Amino acid sequence: MTMTGGSRAARGADLLLTAIAAVSWAFLAMAGVAALGLHLLGADTAGSLGPMTAAVVVLAVGGSVTPSGSVEAFGLTGAGAHTTIDIAPLGVALVGALLLGWVFARSLRALGPSVGGAELAARAGAVVVLFLLILGALAWAGSSTVTFDGSGLGLPGASGGGGPGLEIPGLGDIGDIGGGLTDRLKDLADAKASVGFSVRTGPSLFGGLAWVLGVLLITLVSARRAPLPRGWEALHRGVRPAASALRAVLVLAVVAGLAAAAVAGASDGHPGRVAGAALLGAPNGVWLGVPLGLFVPLRGVASGSLLQVLPHPLDDLLRMRAGQDVSVARLAELEPGVWLLPMGCGLLMVTAGVLTAARTPRGTAGAVGFAGRCGLALGAATAVALPLLVLATRVKADASLSVLGIDAMGAGLELSGSAPAAALLGAVWGFVAGVAGGLLAYATGAAGRRAAPLARGAVAAGGGAYPDPAYLPGPYNPSPGYRPARAETNPYLRQPGDDPFSAPTQTSRSPLRPPPRPPRQPGYRYGSSPVPPPDEPPPPRGRG
């Protein structure tokens, strides 16, 4: 086997192992979070936990689930329950995206300071193919039926045996309604509702493809220490610092939301339900509040029992009239404490600006130029990220339970924001926060302190990315000097005779010769021990 063939085989094995590690760890983490959240919510008491976990994971990565059901009551069949749900459990999706992106970015660091475009495409393609294969298996497994038994509702007559009738004193036989209401309640208690759900394979695979490509793209844009193909060095110094800072503050906001849920669950009567809901949907609430706090207009419609799941004062606002605009000002009319939301979101953006400045190479620009560059970078990143948050946190749910053609229960919920307005406001907020963060970082000396080596090398002479061997100093590419070469300051550039005080002194025209060597002592040979000194002469004899 040649060296070339061995190198290709090693690269192929590394590519495959990287894809397996990234995809498997992502799906294992998502399944674990989904199963734990469903268990804490008590969903496993009504149906099998395995298919429900698979369905939740498919929903988290952009899949589609179709529920259907039937109700048997009063001895009749043929009732139907119809439900449509368009909401993704972003708590599950966030864990999978973080692990998938982290493993993929770590695998690129071992390739050196730059990576070829073909190899990068091959690595991303392997991840995508393996991801879709596992998603297809989950789509096949994510089908089941959940049965709700009316006997667990605690209604009269649920235990069997009609029992005594319900009588109203003073009305005689008319007051005996034991054969009416009580029997009907017993029949309702014996009712069984079966709600089935199945994963739509085609739309789920298409949504999963868009999800995994988006995760890989965000990883390449925000991973500051991962190499890029040649010619993409501008991303190191201009895009990656702002994108990584924005990603960090959004994850930090989710952590703060989980901490708030833990505090709320400690004082709640059902802490398990609060923890389960937080695991599955904490990013949904937090990332919906970020656009709202940055004054992005939302449109909300809610009716029926789904109003109870909305936080206060949003439920009161949507209960007044259907199809209302949701804004901070309107919510503050019902609850003045809502004004704390814009303050928190503004502080979040300033934090992103400071992180952007700390991760951006300072270069030779002054305070104003450096702050303006940070503002432009963060403004562009926020103009893209904020519409994505609006699209990811949209909620749409419709539920109806019909018995014999008569609508017995109806509920609906729809909450969505304006993507164009989010892009415009994101650009403004990002620019202001980037400028403010750049000035703060420049004044405190933190500007450029956390810049990655690839970003520092991208602004060096030649545009190479450090430590690319093509740009390292060597015999054919000397390192740049620390100061300009000037003859008046560099003695090695002066010609002999230019400075009489530094010119060598010559007393004759004959060339300078070294002094003659001292003669060797007789009997001395090279490598032998030194010749001992001669013996001292004897003292002179005295007279007498």
Q: What is the pLDDT of residues 11-70, one digit of tens each?
A: 778 889 999 999 999 999 999 999 999 899 887 776 778 888 888 898 899 887 776 655
The predicted pLDDT at position 150 comes to 46
DSSP state of 122: H
Structure tokens at 499: 């400075």
Going by C-alpha positions, the residue among 109, 65, 328 that lies closest to residue 220 is: 109
Reported confidence tier of residue 419, pLDDT bands at 50, 70, 90: very high
Q: Does the pLDDT of residue 424 top 80, yes or no?
A: yes
Bridge partners, residue 499, by sequence:
none
Q: Does the pLDDT of residue 211 top 90, yes or no?
A: yes
Going by C-alpha positions, the residue among 445, 391, 400 that lies closest to residue 422 is: 391
The Cα–Cα gap between 520 and 465 comes to 62
Residues in the chain: 544
Q: Which helix (H) or strand (E) holds 234?
A: helix 234-234
Structure tokens at 446: 């933190």
Reported confidence tier of residue 210, pLDDT bands at 50, 70, 90: very high
Strands (E), 266-346: 298-303, 324-326
Structure-model confidence comparison of residues 60 and 508, the more confident one = 60
Q: Does the pLDDT of residue 413 top 60, yes or no?
A: yes
Structure tokens at 371: 């702050």
312-316, 401-405, 511-515: lowest mean pLDDT where? 401-405
Average pLDDT rounded to a whole number, residues 133-150: 70
Q: What is the pLDDT of residues 82-138, one digit of tens each?
A: 555 567 889 999 999 999 999 999 999 888 788 888 889 999 999 999 999 999 888
Strand order in the sheet with 395-403: 144-149, 192-199, 65-73, 76-86, 395-403, 406-417, 298-303, 324-326
Q: Does the pLDDT of residue 271 top 60, yes or no?
A: yes
Structure tokens at 500: 């009489």
The predicted pLDDT at position 492 comes to 60
The Cα–Cα gap between 309 and 315 comes to 8
300-314, 473-487, 516-530: lowest mean pLDDT where? 473-487
Asked if residue 325 lies in contact with residue 278, where contact means CB atoms within 8 angstroms, the answer is no
Q: What is the pLDDT of residues 334-352, one digit of tens each?
A: 888 889 999 999 999 999 9
Q: What is the pLDDT of residues 150-189, one digit of tens each?
A: 444 444 444 444 444 444 344 444 344 344 444 443 444 4
Bridge partners, residue 146, by sequence:
195
Asked if residue 317 lies in contact with residue 328, where contact means CB atoms within 8 angstroms, the answer is no
Residue type, 439: L
Structure tokens at 433: 């926060």
The Cα–Cα gap between 429 and 424 comes to 9
At residue 522, the 3 state secondary structure works out as coil
Q: Does the pLDDT of residue 258 top 50, yes or no?
A: yes
Residue type, 208: G
Q: Where are the alpha helices (DSSP H) in 294-335?
A: 314-320, 328-334
